Amino acid sequence: MIGRIVENVDVLLGNEEDVQQALGISGPEPGAGGGVEVKSFVGLMDRVRERYPNLAVMATTLRDVRSANRHIWSAVARVGDETFAAPSTELDVYDRVGGGDGFAAGFIYGLLAGEPPEQALRLGWAHGALVTGYPGDTTMATLAQVRAIAAGGAARIQR
């Protein structure tokens, strides 16, 4: 069922486990290697694109859960034939719910705003990271805060 939908889209966002289960495409074992290994996810994206050549954009977050409140966070995107990886950073997590949705919102915002793909990825990465610091899955971040983190700034409160 999901595969029939993916045949008709050009942008696919989702974590590796969901993509594997929904599309039946093999990839890395969730949590395998204990890190955010970009290469293994690029391989998964290659296999997805072989089956669904209409996909122009694919992206996912990469998260290594060290404890409930400590995660290593990154993201990867394939736009056309180019692959982009966000930095890897340690997060002090208040609530992990919504980090992936925050990533998707920031990434899509960047694409729709006409940002270069690498900047769109960084905006998604930064927004997802900020969302993990809030209770629930509703953002409290401003665009200025997201842009500051995406540019390499610290996740400190800015007023």
Q: Is residue 155 part of a domain?
A: no
Q: Is residue 158 part of a domain?
A: no
How many domains does the structure of the chain reveal? 1
Report the percentage of the chain scoring pLDDT > 90.
69
Phi, psi of 27 (to 5 degrees): -160, -165
Q: Is residue 156 part of a domain?
A: no
Which pLDDT band, with edges at 50, 70 and 90, does 159 fall under?
very low
Q: Is residue 20 part of a domain?
A: yes
| DSSP class per residue in 114-151 | T--HHHHHHHHHHHHHHHTTSSTT-----HHHHHHHHT
Cα–Cα dist 41/16, whole Å: 7
43-68 per-position pLDDT tens digit: 889 999 999 999 999 999 999 889 99
CB 79 within 8 A of CB 62: no
| DSSP class per residue in the chain | -HHHHHTT-SEEE--HHHHHHHHT---PPTTGGGS--HHHHHHHHHHHHHH-TT--EEEEEEEEEEETTEEEEEEEEEETTEEEEPPPEEEE-S--TTHHHHHHHHHHHHHHTT--HHHHHHHHHHHHHHHTTSSTT-----HHHHHHHHTT-------
Q: Please give the pLDDT value at position 156.
A: 52
Q: Above 60 in pLDDT, residue 155?
A: no
Which pLDDT band, with edges at 50, 70 and 90, does 16 fall under?
confident
- Full domain range(s) for residue 34: 2-150
Domain with residue 61: its CATH number is 3.40.1190.20
73-104 per-position pLDDT tens digit: 999 999 999 999 999 999 999 998 899 999 99
Q: Is residue 159 part of a domain?
A: no
Q: Is residue 90 part of a domain?
A: yes
